[in-house]
Structures are given as structure tokens and as C-alpha cells.
Amino acid sequence: MLSFDEVTMLVATVGSGIVGGLCFAFASFIMSSFDDLGPPQAIRAMQSINSGILRSSAMGAWFGTAVIGIVAAMIAENRGLAITAAVLYGMGAVVITGQGNVPLNEELGRVDPDGPGAADAWRRYRIRWGHWNNLRTVLIAASTTFFALAQ
């Protein structure tokens, strides 16, 4: 039977992997698929995702992993790796998302997909949001690695 600290580290590892996978999906094919739809439909799709994700189980995984990662870092035998993992996760999933992606999502939420300037708004959003998403994807993937190594 697994100990509490082993279960905690395992949950942090899996949670980080799930959230990193979600970010990777956006980086690898979701955003480019939206581009294929054209700006009005891309904006509508992203507005819908940005609204829907707040009511989804993804939020539990997103923030629950931050909390469980801190707990894992506090009780881990291999504290250095676990702290590194928790910090990387917090930087990617919480700080980068909150300071980079969320403000851009809020800005896009105010765009009329059929209004003047929608195409330019989408291009600006797509580039800036993509840069932030790529950064958080790398940080969260690294956190998953460190959580796994800390086991």
C-alpha cells in the first residue's frame, strides 16, 4: 500500500501531466485548427472555451494540482526535486496563466467576432496567447518531470 506522501506525489505528478497535456493540445493543434476556421469562428470558439473551462473539471485539476503540489513539496523525502516541481507548476499554471493568458482571454471576450477589427484582434490574440501558452506548457511539462523524479 502506498504511503500518504507517495499518493500525494503521484497525484501531483498526474495532475501536472493532465494540465500540461491540455496546454500542449492548444499549442500543438487546437489554435491552428481555429485559424483554419477563420477569425469570426475562431473568436467564437475561443470565447466559448474561455467561458466553459471556468465551469469544468479542468479547474479542479488546474488549481487542485497547485495545492497538492505544495503539500507534496512539504512532505517529500526528495524535497529539492519536489519543491522545484511545485515552483515550476505554480509559475506555469498559476502565474503565467493569470498574468498572461487570462487577461488576453478577457480582452478577446470583449471582441465582436463579426465587428470591424475582429481579424486583427484574433491575429494579435493568437500570437500573444500562443507565446504565453508555449511558455506555460514547457514549465508544466518540466514540473511533471520533477514530480516524477521526486517519487
| Residue pLDDT, tens place only, 91-131 | 999 999 999 999 999 999 999 999 999 999 999 999 999 99
- Mean pLDDT score of the chain, rounded to an integer? 97
Digit-coded pLDDT (tens) for 38-69: 999 999 999 999 999 999 999 999 999 999 99
Distance CA 43, CA 49 (A): 10
User: What are the residue boundaries of the structural domains of the chain, listed by start?
Assistant: 4-149
151: pLDDT strictly greater than 90: no
Alpha carbon distance 9, 83 (integer Å): 11
Residue 113: strand, helix, or coil: coil
Please state, in angstroms and rounded to a whole number, the distance separating the CA atoms of residues 3 and 6: 5
Q: Looking at residue 65, what is its pLDDT?
A: 98
